[in-house]
Homo-oligomer: A and B are copies of this chain.
Amino acid sequence: MRTVFPSPEVTPGHRPPLSARRKTSCEPIFSTQTANSLAMIIITRPDATEEQIQHIVSRIADWGLRAEVSRGEMRVVIGVIGAEDKIRQKPLGAFPGVESVMPVLKPYKLVSYEFRGTASRVKVGDVVVGSKEVVIMAGPCSVESEDQILSIAQSIRDSGAKILRGGAFKPRIGLQLLAEARRESGLPIITEVMDTKDLELVAEYADCLQIGARNMQNFSLLREVGRTQLPVMLKRGMAASIKDLLMSAEYILSEGNFNVLLCERGIRTFETMTRNTLDLNAVPVLKAETHLPVVVDPTHGIGIRDFVPAMALAAVAAGADSIMIEVHNAPEFAKSDGEQSLLPKDFADLVRRVRCVAEAVGRAV
């Protein structure tokens, strides 16, 4: 068996098992999986009656699906064969006599590595994410003034960044300043869209849309960015499992937009010495599970300026295709996130170190 090394050429040799417990929920369920295959396993309770088992089997048949029954001493296992999307909508766990219901097929299809069989590359402007090159995105948390954004853009480009990030909290003005910075620096821009009603405006300017962690499960927003062909960077929510992240991405792909980047940016745990717990474990797991490129945001992940560089290097060593770093020319005066932004000179130093680590794992900057 081959191990998952962070080189982009390696075919992942392992796709880890999904948490097998089915949890129903109010979220509307998308339907993209159509394979006619073993989709679900039902395990009955020790005290399930023959009548209950037959009720389940006949209900499965009513739905146009097929049941395969295997009998153990205490429990009966019923395999359900048929289109995954049909099965998902059935409240199998609500039947009398059922102890547990375990999905065999994954709850996503288009994003899975098997679906493409090879890693995807996503173009942001002219920059390719997902190739041998580790792409560095950088910029301030928020666009504050023309001077600020132009000076930061030029400085990070000179240091080696390839994409400019920046939040436009007053959208119209912020987006125009970002566009100006793009003209001056030549860097494509990524910026957040926070609400469906802003999408049209943001899409006019951005080279890549960012969906923030708080909107990772904002399904109407996911659907609408799925209808554009713009690259989308989807950030993992603070309480989102890796599976949740992939299911949210599936929403975007299922609308036809395959230009998706997944971004690990820290989850919420009991640890309080760091702002969040940047979960680098997600990097090799995602590289094995999905063909989509993986970005890591150590700035929000650890949230303390002095520790950002170490986590940036670790992200690259773990196999990230891209890292995103907040840079501010005057953190003391920053409107937000001053405490976690790097100074331009520290960023330049970080890029030099990132380059060394990237080369050590067979990549480049």
Please report A residues at the B interface, Cβ cutoff 8 Å. 1-6, 12-21, 23-29, 35-39, 41, 43, 45-46, 59, 68, 70-75, 77, 79, 81, 89, 91, 93-96, 99-102, 104-105, 114, 141-142, 167, 169, 194-197, 214-215, 217-221, 237-239, 241-243, 267-275, 277-285, 287-288, 300-311, 313-319, 331-340, 342, 346, 349-350, 353, 356-357, 359-361
Contact = CB atoms under 8 A, between A and B. Distances in A.
7 contacts: A24-B336, A74-B105, A93-B339, A102-B102, A273-B285, A277-B277, A313-B317
Contact of A314 (B27, B306, B315): B315
Contacts of A273: 16, 18-19, 241-243, 285
Contacts of A5: 309-310, 313, 353
B77 A79 contact: yes
Contacts of A335: 89
Contact of A21 (B17, B70, B285, B359): B17
Contacts of A338: 24, 91, 93-94
A45 B15 contact: yes
Contacts of A19: 19-21, 272-273
A307 B38 CA distance: 28
Nearest to A72: B38
A63 B96 CA distance: 35
Q: Copy number in this complex? A: 4
A19 B331 CA distance: 23
B280 A278 contact: yes
B346 A356 contact: no
A357 to B, nearest CB: 5
Nearest to A221: B195
A268 B267 CA distance: 11
A3 B194 contact: no
A3 B305 CA distance: 8
A74 B169 contact: no
A100 B18 contact: yes
Contacts of A3: 305-306, 308-309, 342, 346, 349-350
Contact of A218 (B15, B104, B218, B357): B218
Given A23-B303, A302-B281, A35 B239 contact: no
Contacts of A141: 26
A152 B75 CA distance: 35
Contacts of A267: 239, 269-271, 277
Given A1-B96, A241-B273, A270-B270, A25 B337 contact: yes
A305 B99 CA distance: 13
A3 B14 CA distance: 36
Contacts of A39: 72
Contact of A239 (B195, B268, B359): B268
B35 A73 contact: yes
A6 B196 contact: no
Contacts of A197: 196-197, 220
A-B pairs, 5 with minimum CB distance: A38-B72, A17-B100, A91-B338, A239-B239, A37-B73
A313 B269 contact: no
B332 A24 contact: no
A41 B217 contact: no
Nearest to A14: B306
